[in-house]
Structures are given as C-alpha cells and as structure tokens.
Amino acid sequence: MKHLLFILILASAAVARADNNARLHGVVRAVTHDQPLRGYISWNRHLFRPEVFHAVKLENAYAHYFVPKAGEKSPGVHPRLPVHAFECRFGDIEAARPRGNQLLEVQVRGGLTTVVRLREEVKVYVEQKDGSRRYVPWNAIEEILFTEPPADAPPSAHAPIAGIVRAGGNSYKGIVQWNEKRTTEHTLDGKTTAEEVNIPFKNVRAIVKEDNRCLVYLKSGNQVLLSNAVDPGQGIHVHVPGLGRVHVPWEEFASFEALPPGETIEVEEARAPERLRGVVEVATGERVEGIIAYDLDEALDIEMLDAKTGRVTYIIPLLFISEIEPLDRNRSRVTLVDGRKLVLGDLTDVNEQHDGVLIFRADAPTPRYFPWRSIRRISLLRE
C-alpha cells in the first residue's frame, strides 16, 4: 500500500509540474509595493504560456519597400498602409514594461525589444506562494519579468483544460479554451430541460455535439444534455504543440475529450527568437536565399501566420512552418516542420492581399522585394 501511495504521489507531482510549466509565472515590480511580487501571473483572461499576445506595431520599418499592385497608386507611401499586428505567444516574452498611453515595451527572449500599442486595458494579478492573489494596478507596474516557476513552486490554482477537440474531420490535441473558460475549475454552463447547471470542467470526461446541444459525459458516469453551452461568438480554442492556436467555431465543433488522468500537454521550452531565413522561388524559376521579412512585416520566427480553412482559424508561429506555396488568389499550401500540410486562405498572410516578401542578402547593399503574385514557393530554413 505504501508503494502504491508513493507512486500516486509521484504521478500527481509530475502532473502538477507539467501544469505549472504551462502557467504564466514571473516577477512584478510596482511602485505600490516595496518588494517585487513573485508567482503565477494572470494577464486579463490569459493564464498560460501558449496563449497568444496581441498588440499593434507602432510602425513598419519595411513599408517603404512596398511596390503597389496593378491599379494602385503610391505617392511614395503604401496607399493602404495597414496597421500591422504584433503577435507571439506569451511564453516568448521575457519582460513587459508599461510606457503610458496604452504603450508597452515588449522584450522577447534573448533581449530584443519593441514598443507596441495595446488593444485593451490590462489587469494583472499575481498568485503568490502562500496562495494569496494580489491585484497590481497597471499604472503602478514598472516591469513584469516572466520566468520559469521554481522546482518547489506549489501547484497553481489554475490547471489548464486539456484534451482533444474534433471538428471538420480533424483532431486537435492541446490546451483548450471553451468560450472564455480556461481552467478545470471553470464551469461548463448551460441549461437542461429543468434548470440551469454549472459543471466544473474537472468533472467532465467528454462533450459531444447533438444538433445544437451538448451531450456531456461526466467522470462519475452520468450524462447531461445541455443547451446554450457555447457562445457562438467565441467558440473553442485549442493551443496545439507544433501547430499553434486553432479556433473552432460552434458550427464546426463535433466533440471534446478530456485527457485521461496522468496525461498532460507538453509545452515547448522558451528560447530566443531567430530572424526568418529562407529561399524564395519565383515564377521565372529564380531562387533567392537570405534573411526574410514576410508580408513586409514578420521578421522573427516567433511571429505568427494567420489564416483559415473553411470556418476554422489558425494562428501559427512561423517557427513551426517549413514551406508556404501560393495556390491561387485566395489560398496557399502551408507545410509544417513535422510534415503536416494545410491548405489555408481568406486572410492576408496567405492570399493576394499579401504585401510581399523582402530578401536581405549579405552580398547586396539593399534587399530585393518580391510581390506576392510573383512567388511560387517560400522555404524557411533553420540553423
């Protein structure tokens, strides 16, 4: 019996450690506190390292290289210069320093910094070692330094929902967000024919869509049929290792299956980003290799490619992509590093609204610009 108990304790510790590695953790320095606050961090609703940080770039250093498409006029400035987004995973951020007026200095792993404009007000909470949860006013924060939780860190009160979401004939295994619900303590809310119910996700074994309702299989063995369990405006998000974030709208959702006890989702280790490097092959057959600015914007491999297949939306870190091949005016074939292939479209990262690619070569004083319509294939290279 003692041996069994010891094994169970080890298994529980391993699960807790894996969940801790997924949680945002760090040190918050604020003028309102004499000592830094250290612990698990909540950034608005965001709790986990694979979640996507969204902000707006203040300027585009590559915009003046843009060559307008046929029919567009350009008086030396991009005629429809877009507001480019800055997107990366929270786990890619090393430090964040508020600069006032919704401005934020973001330092990624390795030390590179950029100033971005936030899209929303931010509320920060720190879950400390003693279990207390402290709110830190945004205007009092000097710096948030994101760190790995120490080996002796207690389990976070917020364990991620983890499992397999099936939609449109595909399966996505990862950390799951249901509406805005992210943790196993959060509840699946809906209505039976008799009453409203709130079921903690830690008690849910599976959810199967039946017509416009959810058949919920509980770990107790019971079943509950719920209506209004998904907000159609939010749907389900899955953070998939090696792929990125997948948004599944309710119309495409088929089922959710929680991971069995003891199984966890591995979260990629944080590392410093690398400049995008690759080969651009154009329609004439010419191949040019060098440092890449993709869509006249993304220059680091932690930045994201946004695209859709049907109604399912993907946000994929470029470091997971090996090849991008335009197919027609609206779609491209994206090959992942692990060999998976996706045909994606609808958004500017993969269709004719793409702003083109710059290639910087060591043997050339200026970069070469390739409009999207001229590109046959982009192959991303790794060290």
Nearest Cα neighbor of 152 from 4, 25, 5, 2 is: 25
**Domain annotation covers residue 338:** yes
Nearest Cα neighbor of 18 from 269, 315, 238 is: 269
Residue 193 and residue 238 share a domain: yes
**Domain annotation covers residue 155:** no
What is the number of other CB atoms lying within 10 angstroms of the CB of residue 40?
23
Domain count, the chain: 3
Residue 142 and residue 9 share a domain: yes
Residue 284 and residue 242 share a domain: no
pTM: 0.89
pLDDT digits (tens, 9 = 90+) for 84-109: 789 999 999 999 999 988 999 999 99
CA 115, CA 260: separation in Å to the nearest integer?
42
48 and 239 Cβ atoms separated by less than 8 Å: yes
Which H helix or E strand runs over 199?
strand 196-200
Q: What is the dihedral of CA 368, 369, 370, 372, to 10 degrees?
A: 160
Share of the chain above pLDDT 70, in %: 90
Phi-psi region of 269 (alpha: psi -120 to 50; beta: other; left: phi over 0): beta
Residue 321 and residue 223 share a domain: no
Share of the chain above pLDDT 90, in %: 72
pLDDT digits (tens, 9 = 90+) for 342-372: 999 998 899 998 889 999 998 988 899 999 9
Residue 127 and residue 59 share a domain: yes
Residue 338 pLDDT: 95
Residue 307 and residue 358 share a domain: yes
Residue 64 and residue 136 share a domain: yes
CA 163, CA 177: separation in Å to the nearest integer?
10
Q: Please tell me the number of Cα atoms within 13 Å of 186 on its side-chain side.
A: 18
CA 149, CA 118: separation in Å to the nearest integer?
26
- What residues make up the domain containing 34? 2-146
CA 380, CA 170: separation in Å to the nearest integer?
26
Q: How many helices (H) and strands (E) does the chain have?
A: 1, 30
| Residue 319 per-residue DSSP state | G
Residue 200 and residue 74 share a domain: no
Residue 243 and residue 342 share a domain: no
CA 325, CA 294: separation in Å to the nearest integer?
13
